[in-house]
Amino acid sequence: MSIPLLSICCMTYNHENFIRQCLDGFVMQKTTFLFEILVHEDASTDNTAQIVKVYEAKYPGLFRCVYQTENQFQKQNTLINILFPMARGKHIALCEGDDYWTDPYKLQKQVDFLEANEDFVISHHNMKIIYDDDRKEHLSNSPDQKEITTIEDLALGNYIYTASCVFRNGLINEFPSWGKNLPVGDYVLHLLNAQFGKIKYFPVEMGVYRVTKSGLWGHKSLIDMQLKWINILNVLIGKFDEKVNNLLFEQKTLLMQGIIDSVDKIVAENQRNKENYERIINSYSYKFGAFLLKPFSKLKKKLND
């Protein structure tokens, strides 16, 4: 049996409206090397599993799938505990079942770069972010995103989107227990991998990241997201070398300042609203209008009685 050069790892749950687009993005990839598609279907309550099975039957040499009968999300990190041990590729690409790739040469570009540059361990690219509400779509990475970064850049904040990432398999002998239950396992993974080399960024857009109501971050307030991220950083600080730990602490400090600024803004806005309310009800126009409408309000009350 030929060994694939790359393994695609896909986690999916209740993605029946999106999973076809995701899997089509996998099978359309044009490469000069073999790759495999590993799908973990986490006991969906919709038709996701049936759709995955159709693709598995159509491409029997390409797909290897795990179908759970009981949801594993709260029990274990299925990416780390199930898919990674299955992966035979020298490189791993990640994509969740509600995201998808748009460039058929995405894998070829990223793997070519990693194969030619042994001092790099991660590659990623720009993504289009779309929403299931009326928020405007935009790109994931800003125009000033550096094309070459290190763990020190990553310690100041995560700029690698899951579906954009290709990294070298086997850099970590064992995933640390402290990172297995964090809600952003991909950030932990990137930090751990980045200890071994540099990170390459492709500024071209090659995929779509979908923000949905059921997602981890999709409809949380800014303060809620900042508080959740601070809790994650509390776990990470102290797990790396001194410089990286200091940078993680700096990220935490900036987030805490952001929360303070957000609360101050809310308090100031509430104070302005209160002052505007008091100004209106104490104005001559309001009092005169209320005086003129007073007979009508009494009539309305009498009719309602």
My answer on whether 163 and 214 are in the same domain is yes
Residue 103 has pLDDT above 80, yes or no: yes
Tokens of 56: 């598995």
pLDDT band at 292 (very low <50, low <70, confident <90, very high): very low
Local structure of 235: helix, strand or coil:
helix
Structural domain tally of the chain? Answer: 2
- Looking at residue 160, what is its pLDDT? 97
My answer on whether 66 and 194 are in the same domain is yes
- Looking at residue 141, what is its pLDDT? 96
Rounded Cα distance, 21 and 9, in Å = 15
pLDDT: which is higher, 44 or 78? 44
Tokens of 246: 């200091």
Rounded Cα distance, 121 and 148, in Å = 11
Rounded Cα distance, 298 and 305, in Å = 11
My answer on whether 238 and 133 are in the same domain is no
My answer on whether 173 and 234 are in the same domain is no
Q: Mind listing the pLDDT tens digit for each residue in 235-289?
A: 999 999 999 999 999 999 998 888 777 766 766 666 666 656 566 556 554 454 4
Rounded Cα distance, 6 and 32, in Å = 11
99: in domain: yes
Q: Mind listing the pLDDT tens digit for each residue in 183-225?
A: 777 899 999 999 999 999 999 999 999 998 765 544 567 778 8
Q: Which domain holds residue 152?
A: 6-219
- Rounded percentage of the chain residues whose pLDDT exceeds 90: 66
When pLDDT is averaged across residues 87-106 and rounded to a whole number, the result is 98
Of 172, 190, 219, which one is at a domain's C-terminal end? Answer: 219
Among 221, 208, 223, residue whose Cα is nearest residue 263: 223
Of 186, 219, 252, which one is at a domain's C-terminal end? Answer: 219
